[in-house]
Structure 1
Amino acid sequence: MPLNAQQLNTATFAELLADTHHTAVHLEMRDVYAVGDEAEDFETFLLTGVPNLDPARSFWPQWMPLVEDAVARGVVMRRARIVSEPVTDYIRYEHAITPLNLQAGEGVRWLPRRRASDIALPGNDFWLLDDRLVQFHHFTGTGDWAPDGKERTTDPAAVALCHAAFETVWERGIPHEKYTVQAH
């Protein structure tokens, strides 16, 4: 049974994804994130240049089963990232750990920011689930989660904007396997 309006606002992301039946798409538009669950792995990457690709470490043990379950139920999961070039150290790190997203079942594409100038984009990163629910993500200026880090809406105009933005970015995006990060 689908979640009702109140449940949509109080559900965890895992519960929202479990209630998703067709598509889950994620658009990321920041060049730097500084969320706590990645801090140690990111610092190690900066020191060594070697990504931690152990799916049993960091945030992956929570994330990978969610994706694997959704994909097994027939949900198509795609992630697109708009990035400035040359890329930041964080984007180099994110690119290096993306094989784990792919292993879990996500499709991932990268779009250089200069190729996104004519796309109408929402002001924040988001997840769009089954073209019915948008979860916007709010970050501080330094890239950590803002105190009100998530905002959900089923507003048809917001859903339409996010759908159009994601599909345009996806169409123009470069598949992960073909995208080479250009470091400074």
Structure 2
Amino acid sequence: MIRRARIVSEPVTDYIRFEHHFTFANVAAGELVRWLPRRDAADIALPGTDLWMFDESSVLFTFFSGSGEVVDREWRTEPAVTQLVSSAFEAVWERATPHEEYKPV
């Protein structure tokens, strides 16, 4: 099962509105997607950048420029890093709203 959590600033940007609109394809393919307003994540120790976690044993961090261009990616497998990411994801997942119920503000 693939789970995706998206933390978004509200009001959302046009891009996030677009992303939300087309997430139905991910859901139809079996992915579970939840959305969390950034204000509701203020007390969660979050990594400072976008990431993908694989099998709770490795993390791929993606670093963006101020204009949104990908400038670097980094694989990390240290247990302290993967445990932090896993813990943060679970905290976000508990609070986040399922895609079908989330209405972008």
The answer, yes or no, to whether TM exceeds 0.5 is yes
What is the aligned counterpart of 2:36 among 92, 111, 121?
Answer: 111
* Rg larger for: 1
Q: Which residue of 1 aligns with 2:9?
A: 84
* Counterpart position of 1:180: 103
Paired residue for 1:125? 50
Q: Hey, what's the Cα distance between the residues in 1 that align with 2:22 and 2:67?
A: 21
In 2, the alpha carbon distance for the partners of 1:143 and 1:83 equals 15
Per the TM alignment, residue 138 of structure 1 is displaced from its structure 2 partner at its CA by 1.0
**CA deviation string 1:118-139 (max 9, x = no partner):** 0000111111111100111111
**Unmatched 5+ stretches in structure 2:** none
From 23, 26, 46, the equivalent of 1:101 is 26
Greater RCO (Cα-Cα under 8 Å, separation 6 or more): 2
- Match of 2:2, SS state, is strand
Deviation sequence 1:74-93 (CA, Å, 0-9, x none): xx100000111111111100
1:165 aligns with 2:60: no
Paired positions, count:
105
CA distance in 1, matches of 2:79, 2:58: 9
Partner of 1:178, secondary structure, is coil
* TM-score scaled by length of structure 2: 0.96
Alignment partners' CA distance in 2, 1:106 and 1:142: 28
CA deviations on 1:137-169 (whole Å, 9 max, x unpaired) are 1111111211x2x10011111101100111110
Q: When the two structures are superposed, what TM-score results if normalisation uses the length of structure 1?
A: 0.56
